[in-house]
Structure 1
């Protein structure tokens, strides 16, 4: 079986960055499952599909015309939507479409097919609990809503975009509530997961902790930086 490491957690914890860096160190593939839901949300809105309508959303998800290119770009219907899916609106849409069981089922096999040799680091919200329950290592990153809002506020400002910190905190709390309490695949740490709060950690510090946990759990792995 292809070895899999899962990294779950809410947005703003650094899991996407950590997953990418860990995959790079291992020479493995990396799955950003959240991008799938963001693309689906954007595609649904462009087609005028109600984000509360499970059946048409699942139908769209089953034939989603999305492509993840080798250079890290995301294309929808041939259009580069890499920036469009990283907006606050796209994140909110992703959270809304993700509550539907038929939608998650439609995307399940798509995600599982991402597990290719030599290995996969999968980033998301239910990677360790639902998509890859047999993963060799399950990691769950968390951070306070206030910390995550400050990080997002900084990102938006650096892009020259207006952002209100208080509004971001409210939005993050609302999304957490929706993600943690949905009836299908709620956001939670998988049983036996390595849980890390990144509120007071830099990306470098968090990566060090994750790499130590990985080395401890999977001592047989080869690392690109082992020299």
Structure 2
């Protein structure tokens, strides 16, 4: 069984996906966490910056996603984590720099191809709930159930601002709206796997959930 939950940044898809996975006792895959983990690895192990990461070399992607180095885990406490070279880096993956890096590598076809393979290996032996931006449209177009969560830009910016505050990062609401809007622009207009409502998906407005 495959359940996909797509949507823009801070639409609530991860919260819902975790809850569904926990209720059904399914394996949860946070595709965004994997993209952010790879962005972090490329920046810290291969020296990429926000200016260069969109044109990452395939050899560096393969090296960083090597299962001996890069591990995605999901445990019974409903937590997804990235372990990089034996160190849990999950706490660092919500920073603005890593978030921007993840969005930028998401425009790279080579990156998407290798992450798709990585995720398909994870999904091979599990019933899964997966969230992201193209899970129901590209990764698993034949998924058993597809959902698309959305919310207003203001609501999503407020959620993202709150999340940053929990990381001790002081982001104004105006900044949060600007960052959220820019992310939406990149995700919806990228040439490869743009953010869109998957065919056959149930659309849910999460603004007031």
Asked if TM exceeds 0.5, the reply is yes
Q: Hey, what does 1:196 align to over in structure 2?
A: 204
Give the TM-score of the pair, scaled to structure 2.
Answer: 0.88
**Residue 11 (str. 1) matches residue 9 (str. 2):** yes
User: What is the rounded CA distance, in whole Å, between the counterparts of 1:19 and 1:145 in structure 2?
Assistant: 20
Offset, 1:88: 1.8
Matched, 1:89 2:87: no
SS of 2:57's equivalent in the other structure is helix
**What pairs with 1:67-78 in structure 2 (closer than 5 Å)?**
67-71=71-75, 72=79, 73-78=81-86
Partner of 1:182: 190
In structure 2, the CA distance between the partners of 1:155 and 1:62, relative to structure 1 (3 Å rule), is closer
Partner in structure 1 of residue 30 of structure 2: 32
Question: Do 1:127 and 1:133's aligned partners in 2 also have CA atoms closer than 8 Å?
Answer: yes
Superposed CA RMSD: 1.7
| Conserved 8 A contact 2:34-2:72 | no
1:1-41 residue CA offsets vs partner (Å, 9 max, x unmatched)? xx100000111111111101001111111100111110111
More divergent stretch after superposition (3-12 vs 107-116):
107-116
Q: Secondary structure at the match of 2:11?
A: coil
User: Is 1:45 the counterpart of 2:43 in the alignment?
Assistant: yes
Q: Distance in 2 between matches of 1:118 and 1:27?
A: 10
Aligned pairs, number: 199
Residue 192 of structure 1: how far off its partner (Å): 1.2
Say whether 1:63 aligns with 2:66. yes
- After TM superposition, the runs of 4+ consecutive aligned structure 1 residues lying more than 6 A away are none
Give me the whole-angstrom Cα distance separating, in 2, the residues matched to 1:130 and 1:157. Answer: 33
1:164 Cα deviation from its structure 2 partner: 1.3
The runs of 5 or more residues in structure 1 that have no matched partner are: 202-227
- Distance of 1:62 and 1:138 partners within structure 2: 27
Contact 1:7–1:19 (CA under 8 A) maintained in structure 2: yes
Q: Distance in 2 between matches of 1:60 and 1:181?
A: 29
* Distance in structure 2 (CA, Å) of the matches to 1:129 and 1:60: 27
Aligned equivalent of 2:21: 23
